[in-house]
């Protein structure tokens, strides 16, 4: 049976994520919205994944660990990982590759790390929305080396997307799936030759506020490239 999911969510760790996007709130809202699986994909970081894993366990939801990496080219790349530990390992690598620009909270918002009961554990210092020094090829390779699946994010958007930066979908690194903000744009993008046919199409809400969760639920089936990462999760 396909799983009803939201594969693109930001918590209060992302500076642009609303402060109400706490791990327990996200899991609770996702459950109320009828989702069976969620992926938390904060910008360049996995610090809230241990808490959201415990919150998901409490609500009987499956979690697919994720990070939305911002590459050196300023392309957003969704990295889906098989375990929270793998995501934390990638997060640590990215942290070493971020420019030493502090997060000015009055301008960008806070980057809050929480436990599963929404108690603040600390704040991350470097600005997480910066581009890290990994280019697209290295970023995809690091994700795969940890057993993950890299997926270019919101390729139909005018900024921070592989198409807005490179113009066309590159042949390398090879990707099996792409995320579209508006799935109806796929036909146009293939027709114009900007992407080749045959990619698995993923959608996600890219929610930064609670009410955006499950705005466009995705049905994830056994034929998905992401399925091997989630089978066995209860």
Residues contributing to the site for Zn ion (CB under 5 A): 68, 76, 153, 206
Judged by beta carbon, residue 21 or residue 113, the one nearer Zn ion is 21
- Provide, rounded to whole angstroms, the least separation between the CB of residue 157 and Zn ion: 7
What is the rounded distance in angstroms from the CA atom of residue 26 to the CA atom of residue 10?
Answer: 9
The answer to whether residues 74 and 157 touch, using CB atoms and an 8 Å cutoff, is no
- Eight-class DSSP state of 135: -
Judged by beta carbon, residue 83 or residue 164, the one nearer Zn ion is 164
**Closest residue to Zn ion using C-beta atoms:** 76
- Provide, rounded to whole angstroms, the least separation between the CB of residue 231 and Zn ion: 25
- Eight-class DSSP state of 37: E
Judged by beta carbon, residue 36 or residue 156, the one nearer Zn ion is 156
Torsion angles phi and psi, residue 24, rounded to 5:
-70, -40
- Provide, rounded to whole angstroms, the least separation between the CB of residue 207 and Zn ion: 8
Q: What is the dihedral of CA 178, 180, 185, 188, to 10 degrees?
A: -20
- Provide, rounded to whole angstroms, the least separation between the CB of residue 41 and Zn ion: 6
- Provide, rounded to whole angstroms, the least separation between the CB of residue 82 and Zn ion: 21
What is the rounded distance in angstroms from the CA atom of residue 29 to the CA atom of residue 92?
Answer: 29
Report helix, strand and coil shares of the chain as percent, to nearest 5: 30, 20, 50
Would you say the C-alpha torsion 180, 186, 192, 196 has a positive or negative sign? positive
Judged by beta carbon, residue 36 or residue 68, the one nearer Zn ion is 68
What is the rounded distance in angstroms from the CA atom of residue 8 to the CA atom of residue 18?
Answer: 15
Strands (E), 99-154: 112-114, 120-123, 149-152
Task: State the residue for tokens 């996995």.
Answer: 46
Judged by beta carbon, residue 79 or residue 197, the one nearer Zn ion is 79
Judged by beta carbon, residue 67 or residue 113, the one nearer Zn ion is 67
- Provide, rounded to whole angstroms, the least separation between the CB of residue 174 and Zn ion: 21
- Provide, rounded to whole angstroms, the least separation between the CB of residue 67 and Zn ion: 10
Nearest to 218 by CA among 39, 45, 96, 86: 39
Judged by beta carbon, residue 94 or residue 153, the one nearer Zn ion is 153
């Amino acid at each position: 049976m396909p799983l009803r999911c939201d594969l693109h969510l930001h918590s209060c760790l992302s500076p642009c994520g609303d402060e109400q996007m706490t791990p327990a709130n996200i899991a609770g809202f996702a459950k109320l919205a009828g989702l069976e699986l969620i992926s938390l994909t904060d910008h360049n970081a996995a610090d809230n994944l241990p808490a959201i894993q415990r919150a998901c366990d409490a609500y009987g939801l499956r979690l697919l660990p994720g990070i939305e990496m911002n590459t050196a080219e300023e392309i957003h790349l969704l990295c889906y990982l098989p375990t929270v530990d793998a995501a934390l390992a990638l997060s640590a690598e990215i942290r070493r590759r971020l420019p030493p620009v502090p997060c000015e909270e009055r301008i960008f918002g806070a980057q809050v790390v929480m436990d599963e009961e929404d108690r603040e554990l600390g704040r991350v210092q470097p600005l997480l929305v910066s581009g890290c020094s990994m280019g697209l090829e290295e970023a995809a390779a690091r994700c795969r080396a940890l057993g993950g699946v890299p997926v270019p994010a919101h390729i139909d958007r005018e900024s921070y997307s592989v198409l807005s930066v490179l113009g066309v979908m590159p042949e390398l690194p090879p990707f099996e799936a792409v995320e579209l903000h508006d799935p109806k744009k796929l036909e146009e993008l293939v027709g114009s030759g900007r992407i080749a046919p045959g990619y698995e199409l993923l959608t996600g809400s890219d929610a930064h506020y609670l009410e955006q969760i499950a705005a466009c639920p995705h049905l994830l089936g056994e034929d998905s490239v992401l399925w091997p990462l989630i089978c066995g999760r209860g």
